[in-house]
Structure 1
Amino acid sequence: MPIIDVWAQHPTPRFLRHEMLDSLRRWLGEEIPAGEVPVSATLAVLDAGGVDRALLSAWHGPEGALVSNDEVAAFVAEAPERLGGVASVDLGKPMAAVRELRRAVRELGFVALRVVPWLWGLPPNDRRYYPLYAECVELGIPFCTQVGHTGPLRASETGRPIPYLDEVALDFPELTIVAGHIGYPWTTEMIALATKYPNVYIDTSAYTVRRYPAELVSYLRAHGRRKVLFGTNYPMLTPERALAGLDDLGLDEETTELFLAGNARRVFGD
């Protein structure tokens, strides 16, 4: 059965070494590679987990790019049949951000925009996001973001689905929103938004199957089968580790296919 990972990063040294990831490294016991990580290493991890395709995200914060759009485009160019690109932009410069998003989609072939609110300390209903939402609608791409508590050493408030993402979905009914990291401890809020709005989805990145909250599993088995997408947040979590125990969820074949690939194909058109 095909598998698409909707949230992954091929890391740069400045991404891996950033102090904000110290807490994740402690939890996972990971060591930082000495130099550049070859794309072949990421492809080998995908192979080990049975993943056919991964969407690689750029990362941009107030201090600049930790993984730039052009770097992601170069990674994707090494294996375009296995990798896709997700843009990130400078939220502090809205018009430059709109132009960069347009370039990333039209020239680099990227399939989505991701902004991580805790990096900026700005929830997704902040006015600085709104030009980007309008451009996502015009370009026909999803807006991807993070919901739930923040694993890195940053405040978690910006990850609350209600009221922040709720207001965005109301203001932009044509915008497709993919909320990554499940939303815990506000999982029920996130499920409520995905149920309420036709264009709001949840991805499971940063969680292993065995750590999915019970309410998400129940939603996935029932009326949420078309609203939940598989993701890893690699390199913090490998596909092989993320998927261990999938059969224990008791999903039927149709739901499993939608979760692992079908919903991602529909949402990202990739």
Structure 2
Amino acid sequence: MDIRQSCSPGETRGFDTTQLRTNYLIEDLFRAGEVSMTYSHLDRTVVGGVVPQAKPLLLKSEKQIGSPGFLDRREIGVVNIGGEGRVTADGTDYDLAWTDALYLPMGTADVAFSSTDAANPARFYFVSTPAHATHKAQKITADDAILLDLGTQSDANVRKLRQYIHPEVCASCQLVMGVTLIEDGSVWNTMPCHTHDRRSEAYLYFDMQPKTRVIHLMGEPQETRHLVVGNEQAILSPGWSIHSGCGTGRYGFVWSMAGDNQDFTDMDFVDMGDLR
């Protein structure tokens, strides 16, 4: 399990490209036949990727989790961005197609990931956060999610944002999770940008062509930095940082938040004229 420490705004101002990528970018998230995990000290969030092939893969605890079972004191959200697959949780099967999601609560003992077709494997992305109560396990499809049509063509940011793990859709302790897909001909996401010091966030960029890149903007509004991000790479975003991006082609991203509240609109917007 990779470990990422929290970094202050003061430290981050002095980071070069390598240091920015080392601290905030997860590059090698999906490995065939493996469960890959990164433990971030931003709200103790675990970000993972699972690519099952011929055999199912099990979700196992690690030393950093601090409990015998991975979900003894945690909850988890899973989104499939690959071929059709199945998550089996305590004997119950949940079949997940592309962009289907699954919420599993604290106390879930046994979790296994499998692919319907090993030649076109599922690619399960998951985010796990500490939990204090047990809620109901729930599969959420794109049709089940809350759909928000955002942006304008004149601003090149038309996008569809779907809220999957959200208080009005699926109860959770602190995890909020969803998927945003950028419309053809648009390039920007989350612009105008914002911060939310009460919550940290993670972005997984996906649905990109091999040569497509997203220029992800981060940092304090008056001290912005950038990361060049490829397909199926994830960004860790502290509460003090903006999180926005512009792509060279089609892309989408899975977003997740953890922290003090689950109020999606709890954002501190940044005026475009204040960005530096």
Q: TM-score range by the shorter chain?
A: 0.3 to 0.5
Higher relative contact order, chain-length normalized (CA < 8 Å, sep 6+): 1
Please give the TM-score of this superposition, normalised by the length of structure 1: 0.34
Please give the TM-score of this superposition, normalised by the length of structure 2: 0.33
More strand by share: 2
More helix by share: 1
